[in-house]
Chains A and B, each alone.
Chain A
Amino acid sequence: MDKVWSSQLKKGLVELAVLAALREREAYGYQLLQRLARNPLLSTTESTLYPTLARLAEERLVAVRQATSPNGPPRRYYRLTASGQEHLRQLSEYWRHLSSAVNELLE
């Protein structure tokens, strides 16, 4: 039950985590998965991440470029667009409001 609850909560935050992970530099899907997995609390699965990336690309919050890979098909590198950066700023602001409101309740 606990696991389901935390999983649901985390999934709601995937978008924020992905945008934040792309803030510094571009990454391809698997690289991003590994980048997020460095913190177990943010670790997500590919069936959640890749659809999220596809949606963010469709909404032009991230731009995609293809680059050759030594292992096979070209890799799709994702980077934040200007509107993606603005969206990240707004989401971060909202997250801070939300977390402080929840913290206030918990204290």
Chain B
Amino acid sequence: MNELTPQLRARIDAHLDAVEQQLAAANVPREKRRAIVDDLETQILDMIDKDRPASDADIDAIFRRLDPPEAYGKYSSPPLAAPNPPPADLSEPRVCPDARKGACCIALAIVSQLAGFLGFFVAAGPVININSAQSPAPPNGGWYPEPHPWAKLFLLILAGAAVIAPIAGTWLGWIAVERIRNSAGRLYGLGFAAIEALLYPLALAWIAGFMIWYFIIVAYYDRPEVPNRGRAVCYIGGSCTSILFSVLLIWLLASFTRPRQNSSTPPGAPPLSGNAALL
């Protein structure tokens, strides 16, 4: 290793200090300043001829080949950087495919739940009729007629769709919201996606909110029939709890789908970076 005289070392340090000052003036964080200066120091020491003792003239020659410290002043850290390069997605803005799939799932969920609900009464119609006062007593000593096997299969399929479709639709809704918010305008359908993401969770939240208060009130009065005052408390408490749950759900959706740092580009596009900062 070529030992530098203290004077030469001081000159190099002065140059490095000047660079660091320029970077500091450009609001570059300390850690990055150190990294840049360390790289520059390595370069300067590498440029020094190892075969003979370095002189002032050598250092002058090296400094002439280097950018002046002022050249680092144009550098700014990403938060201060100029706008990012254009996204790689050159396609026209379009509806988010996940939002479309989610909408199909939610539609299927609603249809299957309604159909299942109606189908249940059709299948159970004889039972209801038998129970009503106008109908004759059930045949065979009280056994009600079984629904047709195809009707049972149909109801089973509807029940499966009624459970799976809302989960899938909600999941796709959350994904769609996240992708749309990160797409820098290349994808749209945020309203749709938000409805998909929140429709069933909000419904559950409201049911849960009222159920909690119903059980609290029933437990308080120790009987299923509660007085008007208890009902009022149940409605008010249920509403407040449900609103609280709803706000929490919306906040969760907003937080989990928050646009990523440096990523106003769509999925598939290069993450944005402060390349333009160098311009």
Interface, chain A (partner B; CB < 8 A): 8, 11-12, 14-15, 28-30, 33, 45-59, 61, 64, 69-73, 75-76, 83, 87, 90-91, 93-94, 97
Contact = CB atoms under 8 A, between A and B. Distances in A.
Contacts of A8: 279
Given A11-B279, A28-B42, A50-B35, A55 B71 contact: no
Contact of A73 (B45, B67, B275): B45
A2 B41 CA distance: 32
**3 closest residue pairs by CB, A with B:** A29-B39, A94-B88, A47-B71
Chain A interface, DSSP helix/strand/loop, else mixed: helix
A46 B46 CA distance: 13
B46 A51 contact: no
Interface in B14-35: 23, 28, 31-32, 35
Given A29-B43, A45-B67, A71-B48, A50 B36 contact: yes
Contact of A69 (B42, B88, B268, B274): B42
A55 B274 contact: yes
A14 B278 contact: yes
Given A46-B66, A58-B31, A71-B46, 15 more contacts: A11-B279, A15-B273, A47-B72, A47-B75, A49-B39, A52-B275, A53-B36, A55-B277, A58-B32, A69-B46, A71-B2, A76-B38, A90-B268, A94-B88, A97-B88
A15 B275 CA distance: 7
Given A51-B72, A51-B75, A51-B278, A93 B88 contact: yes
A12 B67 contact: no
Contact of A54 (B1, B35, B45, B270): B35
B253 to A, nearest CB: 26
B40 to A, nearest CB: 6
A41 B139 CA distance: 94
A46 B270 contact: no
A2 B39 CA distance: 30
10 contacts: A14-B278, A29-B42, A30-B39, A45-B71, A48-B278, A50-B35, A51-B36, A51-B278, A61-B273, A94-B269
B88 A46 contact: no
Contact of A47 (B67, B275, B276): B67
A42 to B, nearest CB: 14
Contacts of B78: 55, 58
A45 B278 CA distance: 12
B230 interface: no
A83 to B, nearest CB: 8
Contact of B35 (A12, A53, A90): A53
A56 B72 CA distance: 17
Nearest to B275: A15
Given A76-B39, A76-B42, A59 B262 contact: yes
B85 interface: yes
